[in-house]
Every structure is written in structure tokens, then in C-alpha cells.
Structure 1
Amino acid sequence: MTVELMHPDGLLKQTDYSPVAVATGSRLVLLAGQAGVTPDFRPAAPDLAGQAHTALRNVIIGVRGAGGDVGDLARLTFYVVDWVPEKWDELLAGIARAQQDEGLPAPTPPITVIGVQALFTPEFVVEIEATAVLD
């Protein structure tokens, strides 16, 4: 594994994600934003949780396609349409499904959630960019 997830003393205590990732590999993988879509460009679900799960699965497929795995993920950035803090539990539900079904680490690598007005098409409610580090 090329990424060590850490939670140094003195940072906000949360259990959903690690605030620090230390990467020691030699190849950087930058994934374009992945939406919660099927390979034929259809939304995989109508809701945030379902699309977040599928978007994370697509991220993992991309990392594996580059020769890595879930333990190589160093950072995730979520772009959520019309973000409000009340959507956190639904987003977490999608993340939890990816942890259970796809092997995403728990807690996750560092994440950032950014609210946006819209994505590529009105049916998309979340898009996830990812950074991974491989040996």
C-alpha cells in the first residue's frame, strides 16, 4: 500500500474520513471527475446516495485500470449539486455502500465536499475527482 491514512492529534476528530494521507509511491494517478453513471452514460440512481456509490465504484475502476487498488487512493473531492449540510447523511450512505461493496477504506482517504450549481447534465447530482499514488 502506497498511502498511509493518519489522524494527527490536534485536528478535528471525525470518524468518517482521515484528514491526512501520506503517499510514498512513484506514480501519481489523477482521475477526471467520475459521476454516478453506467458505462452507457445513464444515471445509476436518482438519489445522492446511489449516485455517490456508483461514482466511487467508477473511481475504483479507474484506479484499478491504472494498476492500483483502493488502498492507493490518497484524496477524494466530491462536487454535490445544491449542497447543504443536511445532505451529509445521504452522502455518507453512498460512501458506506462503496466501503461495503467495493472495498473503499473505512475511514476514507481525505475528502472535500464542494457545493456546485450544476454538473454536466441535470440528472447528475454528484461527481468525484480522485488522486491515487502507485508504486
Structure 2
Amino acid sequence: MTVELIDPPGLPVPGVYRQLAVARGSRTVYLAGQVARTATGERVGPGDLAAQVEQAYLNVATALDAVGGSFDDVAKVTLYVVDWHPSKLAALGEGVSRAQERLQRDLTRPVTLLPVAALAEPDLLVEVDATAVLD
């Protein structure tokens, strides 16, 4: 494993993400933001944040697979969420849980959530980007 995930003493243990990632490797992979579109461009989950989060995470996994990586190599995830409100936290968690179940991997990583007014396309509710380190 190239990424060690840590919740150090003195910081809260959030459960849904990790506080730190220590990455070791020789290749750093910066993913473009992934959204709720299939390989053919089909829209997934219009109006459904959980479905869009799930698809975006699956797209991140597909991109990583293309370079010989997986979520085990992810050091940092950034979520861009349209019209963020804390009431959307459950849908975010549900989407990540669904993706985790489908990928059979622990997806808890250091995460930054950034509220945004809009994304590049009006039907998109979330965009997920990641940085991974591979040996």
C-alpha cells in the first residue's frame, strides 16, 4: 500500500473520512473532477445527490484502474457540492457507501468538501476529484 491513513491523537475521529494520508510512491496521479455520467455520457441520477456521488466515485475508480491504481492509492479527495447544506450530508454518505459496496473497498480518505453555486452542467450536483500516489 502506498498510502497510510491516520487519525492522530488530539484530532477528532470523524468516521466518514480520515484526517491524514501519508503517501509513498514514485508516480502522483491528479484526476480531473469526475461527475455523474457513464462512459457513454449518459446522465445518472438527475436530482439525486446520492446516485450522483456513487457514479462520480465509480468514475474515479475507473480512472485509477486505467493507470494501474485503485482507491487504496488515493491520498486526498475533494468534493464540490452544489448548493451545499448540512442536510445533504446523509445523501453524500449514502452515495459513498453505495460506491464502497460496489467497489468492495474502504473509501474513507482525507476529504475536503467545497460548496459551489453550480458546476459546468446544470444537472450536475457533485464533482469528485482525487490525488493518488502509485509505486
Q: What TM bracket, shorter-length normalisation?
A: over 0.9
| Letter paired with 1:22 | V
Partner Cα distance (2:57, 2:104) in 1:
10
Instruction: Tell me if structure 2 keeps the 8 A contact 1:76–1:128.
Output: yes
Give me the whole-angstrom Cα distance separating, in 1, the residues matched to 2:94 and 2:122.
Answer: 22
Q: 2:97 aligns to what SS in structure 1? A: helix
Structure 1 residues 97 and 87: CA distance shift in structure 2, 3 A: same
Alignment correspondent of 2:110: 110
In the alignment, the residues of structure 1 paired with residue 105 and residue 128 of structure 2 have an alpha-carbon distance, to the nearest angstrom, of: 14
Give the TM-score normalised by structure 1: 0.95
Report the count of equivalent residues.
Answer: 134
Tell me if structure 2 keeps the 8 A contact 1:70–1:103. Answer: no
Once the two structures are TM-superposed, the CA of residue 40 in structure 1 deviates from its matched residue by: 2.3
| Aligned equivalent of 1:64 | 65
Match of 1:14?
Answer: 14
For 1:58 and 1:92, locate their aligned partners in 2 and report how far apart those are by CA, in whole Å. 17
- TM-score w.r.t. the length of structure 2 is 0.95
Aligned to 1:51: 52
Quick one: distance in 2 between partners of 1:64 and 1:119?
25
Q: How far 1:86 sits from its partner (Å)?
A: 0.9
Bigger shift: residues 63-72 or 23-32: 63-72
The 2-side partners of 1:21 and 1:13 are apart by 14
Q: Percent identity?
A: 46
Give the 4+ runs in structure 1 shifted more than 2 A: none
**TM-align CA RMSD:** 1.0
- Aligned partner letter, 2:125: V
Are 2:115 and 1:119 equivalent residues in the alignment? no
Structure 2 unaligned regions, length at least 5: none
Kindly provide the amino acid, as one letter, of the partner of residue 30 in structure 1.
Answer: Y
User: CA–CA distance in 1 between the matches of 2:102 and 2:77?
Assistant: 18
